Amino acid sequence: MTALPASATGVVTIDLGAIAANWQALAKLVSPAECGAVVKADAYGLGAGRVIPALQSAGCRTFFVATQPEALQARALARSATIYVLDGLLPGAGEDLIAAAAIPVLSNGEAIREWSALAKAKDVRLPAAIQIDSGLNRLGLDESALSAIMTDGEMLSWLDLKLIMSHLACADDPDDAKNAAQLAAFRRLSSISLPAPLSLAASDGLMLSRDFHFDLVRPGYALYGGQAFKGGATPVRPVVKAEARILQVREVPDGATVGYSATYSAKGTRRIATVAAGYADGLFRHLSAGDGESGGQVSIDGRFAPIVGRVSMDLITVDVTDVPTGSVGRGEMACLIGPDLPIEAVGAAAGTIGYEVLTSLGRRFHRVYVNGGE
Ligand SMILES: *Cc1c(COP(=O)(O)O)cnc(C)c1O
């Protein structure tokens, strides 16, 4: 492995082999249904430019992105893949989608009619996915909108319907009654539609039961090592490690305060390490810990060190009094995400979810990709 640049304040290590293995494990779990991959938001912040080729080598043929620029990038990396755009067709943006050979997920009647009109004007059938709403009330056609669309045969004849999909609201919790309700709604509504392959489940939904797999599943988070499903372990392994440099270690006397607004005061003499990672690097300000509060932590040489005081833009201060002095020198690394600090735990400490931790992580940090097969 190449040495870390001397000026790197932090490093995010991304295990491409683990991403490939995670996709294969999920593909096996859901077979004979197909396993796609959601690579929106730059593959959840991990770098679509590296993640998409790794998934393609693993066997993935269907990708979901959120936006047209993401589709263009994915297309350049995966020439023959099927690429769906979850945000669908923005008014007037049809040509841009065609330029990316991307398939919009059409979620309302207006978008469906606009895409069909564009097909007619070009005198070609255009591929489309239709999203129906099964209870999330976010994107998708409700029953009356779907019924109205399905009566317009001429308009539909311009569409090559590749997928009918919907999205679950509570699939992380296997005991939530909404799962069965949405499953029933999806079955009923998809039967009103023209026949096409069906897709309902993301990372958590695919863990509920085979009933939720249909023809295609759409995991994102689980591919990146995330454990969204609360009913048991998803068969994936961690992908990301994030570390940042210790810039300085100081002794703070009893009663002295640390950080902005002096929210923390030392109880006895403490050793405080200042680490080069802050909220601009995805360490949320909610990880701060004033007096009597518990916040986030880092790990140094396998020992936890709590964040004390406010998280600032570029820095955190951690109490390393209990960490052996040998491992906390200037330039040493503090681990922010790793085997003993999973993204879910960091998310919980910050009052958010692992997804937000992942997509916010380490934009200023050096990136290292390992096990990429080259
Ligand atoms: C983001 C997204 C997914 C992937 O969700 P994960 O929980 O990351 O697996 C699947 N489907 C839709 C519609 C999404 O927006």
CA of 358 relative to ligand 1 center, distance in Å = 14
Where residue 327 falls among pLDDT bands split at 50, 70, 90? confident
CA of 362 relative to ligand 1 center, distance in Å = 22
**What is residue 3's predicted lDDT score, i.e. its pLDDT?**
83
**What is residue 374's predicted lDDT score, i.e. its pLDDT?**
52
The neighbouring-strand residues paired with 38 are: 64
The three-state secondary structure class of 9 is coil
Contact 62, 216 (CB under 8 A): yes
pLDDT in tens, 56-76: 999 999 999 999 999 999 999
Pocket test for ligand 1, best of 22, 38, 207, 355 (most atoms within 8 A of CB): 38
CA of 88 relative to ligand 1 center, distance in Å = 14
| Residue 193, CA distances (Å) to 130, 131, 136 in order | 9, 11, 19
CA–CA gap between residue 248 and residue 252 (Å, rounded): 12
Which residues are designated catalytic?
Answer: 40, 260
Ligand 1 atom 10, closest CA = 202
Taking alpha carbons only, the member of 71, 74, 62, 107 closest to residue 89 is 107
pLDDT in tens, 207-257: 999 999 999 999 999 999 999 999 999 999 999 999 999 999 999 999 999
pTM: 0.96
pLDDT > 80? residue 155: yes
CA of 39 relative to ligand 1 center, distance in Å = 9
Pocket test for ligand 1, best of 29, 63, 131, 167 (most atoms within 8 A of CB): 167
Tokens of 151: 């009566």
CA of 199 relative to ligand 1 center, distance in Å = 11
pLDDT in tens, 88-117: 999 999 999 999 999 999 999 999 999 999
pLDDT > 70? residue 262: yes
**What is residue 226's predicted lDDT score, i.e. its pLDDT?**
97
pLDDT in tens, 267-304: 999 999 999 999 999 999 999 999 999 999 999 999 99
Share of the chain above pLDDT 90, in %: 97
* Ligand 1-lining residues (CB < 6 angstroms): 38, 40, 86, 167, 202-204, 218-222, 228
Pocket test for ligand 1, best of 64, 207, 212 (most atoms within 8 A of CB): 64
Taking alpha carbons only, the member of 114, 63, 105 closest to residue 86 is 105
Ligand 1, atom nearest to 165 Cα: 13
